[in-house]
Amino acid sequence: MQISQCTIIKERLLGVNFVRVIAALGIIIYHISCYTGSDAVKVLYKYENGTFGNMFTMVFLLISGGVLYHNYPKITSLREFFYKRWKSIFPSFYIVFSCFYIKNVLERGSLFYYGRPTSILLSIFGLDGFFNYAGANYYLVGEWFLGAIIILYILYPLILKGVNKTGWLTIFILIALCVWKVETYTFGSVVLNRLAYYGGCFVLGMLIFKYKLYGNKILVAISVVVSAVFLFIKVNISNAYSDYILGVSLFFVMYALGELLAKVSVLNDMISFISGLTFPMFLVQNQISMYLVNRYTPTSLTAIIKTIFISVVLCAVSAWCTKVVVNAITHTKWFSYLEKHLIYRTVEKGCKIWDRLP
C-alpha cells in the first residue's frame, strides 16, 4: 500500500491497549447484567454513584478522542483522514450487521421486516443505534455509541482546529456544556444533548493526549483516591457527573497499570492481541449476550460467571473471524486498486489544500 509522505510515525502508547480491553470486557459484563432478571446476581451493573455501562462508555469516548489526536494532531489530507476513519469502522460493521440482518430476514420471511425500507439508510450510515430513540429501525449492532463516534469523527477536523488554537480554554467550554446539559437539558434535541455530554469526554481525551497527561504520576495518585471514593462512597451529586469523574479517573489508573503490565512481554502480546479485537467485539457483544441470557436465564453467581465467560469467548472468536474476513477483503486486488487511485494518489494535493485552511 502506498504511504502518504505526510504520515508521521507515532510513539506507541502501551497503556491504551489495556484500557481498551478492560472497557470492552466491562461493557460485555454490564450488558449481561442488563438482560438478566431482577432476581439475578448483577455483576458490574451499578457502583455507588452510577452505572458501570455509562462509566465505561466515558472511558471508550475518552480513548477514542485521545488516540485520534495522538495519531492526527494535524490533518494533512481530509480525503485520507476520512477514508481511514471509514475503513476502521464500516467494513467490520457491514459484515457483522449483514450476518444478523440476513438471519432476521430468513426468520421473518421479509427483506424489510419492519415495513419501513427507508429507515435501513440509517444502518447503511452506521447511525441506526444513535437514532433508535426516534422510532424503530433496522438497528442490530453497534448501539448508539457507534453513531456518536461516527458523528464525532466527521466533526473532528473542526474540533481539532479549536483544540489546537484554544488549548486548555476548551476545558471550560466543555464543563459549561456538560453542566448546561445535565441541569437544564435544553439543547433542543436528543442528538445535541448526547453530543454535548458524550462529545465532551471525546474532546477531553484529545486534551489529555495533547498535553501527554496519561503518564503523570500525580494525576494517577489522585485518580486512585477519586476512583475509590466514587466506587464505594455515596457522593451527593448527579450520576451524570459521577460517571464522568469516575470514567476519567479510572482511565488514568488503568493506563498506569497497563504500562506496568506491558513490560511483561507475554502479557503485552496478549493484551495487544485482544485490544485489536475490541471494536468487532463491541459490534457483536449485544446480540451474543442477549442470546445467552435469553436461552439460559442465569440467576446465581456461578451461572452468571459461566455466562460471562462464554459470552467473552464467543465475542472474541466472532471478532477474530470478522477481522480475518475484513483483512481478506481489504487486501484483494480490486480494493488495493481503489485505494491507490481514489485515495493515495491525491494525498499530496490534499496536504497542500488542508495547510491553507484557516
DSSP per residue over 32-75, as a string?
Answer: HHHHS-TTSPPSSSEETTEEHHHHHHHHHHHHHHHHHHHH-SS-
Q: Tell me what pLDDT residue 345 has.
A: 57
Q: Tell me what pLDDT residue 12 has.
A: 67
Exposure string (b/e) for 269-304, b if CB count within 10 Å is 16 or more?
eebeebbbbbbbbbbbbbbbbeebbeeeebeeeeeb
* Residues of the chain under the 70 pLDDT cut: 1-12, 180-190, 343-358
Do residues 36 and 304 touch, judged by C-beta distance below 8 A? yes
Q: Tell me what pLDDT residue 348 has.
A: 45
Q: Tell me what pLDDT residue 249 has.
A: 96
Q: Which residue has the cell 438482560?
A: 35
| Phi and psi at residue 46, to the nearest 5° | -130, 150
Q: Tell me what pLDDT residue 11 has.
A: 58
Q: Tell me what pLDDT residue 169 has.
A: 80
